[in-house]
Amino acid sequence: MTYMEVNNTDVPIELLLEADPSRENVLSYLQDAWCFVAMDDKQIIGICVVTQRVSGLAEIDNISIEPSRQGLGIGTNLLRYVLKELKSKGMTRVELGTGSFGYQLTYYQRLGFRVESVAKNHFLQTYSEPIFENGIQHKDMLRLYLNLS
């Protein structure tokens, strides 16, 4: 497995749509983003898209692993790589938004992310189609953060 930064024009949008079903959203944050990938046999199987918000602050906009390769530690290793790279770029804090339940929340918390706030009704107001996980509709978004210093 190889982890590296690539140009934002080289990432497969279809894989990003696995984590964010809105093509419009994906295209909007992809424009000025840093894109980090996990590659296996010259094929991108994982992507993490990050944007710098202000000096020292980055936001993870999307992280997605090929569905057939999930649960193998690829996402954890990719995120660890991304956090190390962000620190080398001078970032001191990383933030992200995720659902208020589900495996994603546990995934981020295992790597040290903490809850900053709750954005009530975010998924209801942002997406035209409801998003379900394990039969439960996502409504609120948790804002998480990790200090890199």
Quick count: other Cβ atoms within 10 Å of Cβ 127? 14
Least confident of 31-40, 51-60, 111-120: 111-120
Partners of 59 in the β-ladder: 51, 95
Domains defined for the chain, CATH in brackets? 2-147 (3.40.630.30)
Give the sign of the dihedral formed by CA 95, CA 101, CA 107, CA 110: positive
Q: Could you report the per-residue pLDDT of 101-110, keeping only the tens digit for each?
A: 777 888 899 9
pLDDT at residue 130, as a whole number: 76
pLDDT over 90 at 39, yes or no:
yes
HEC sequence for 83-122: HHHHHHCCCCEEEEEEECCCHHHHHHHHCCCEEEEEECCH
**Cα separation of the two ends of the chain:** 27
Mean pLDDT of the chain: 90
Whether the predicted pLDDT of 56 surpasses 90: yes
pLDDT for res 105: 85
Alpha carbon dihedral 123, 121, 106, 111, in 10-degree steps, equals 90
CB distance 90 to 57 below 8 Å: no
Cβ atoms within 10 Å, residue 48: 29
- Evaluate if pTM is beyond 0.85: yes
**The two three-digit tokens of residue 58, written as one number:** 């980055």
pLDDT of residue 135: 82
- pLDDT per position as a tens digit, 60-92: 999 999 999 999 999 999 999 999 999 999 999
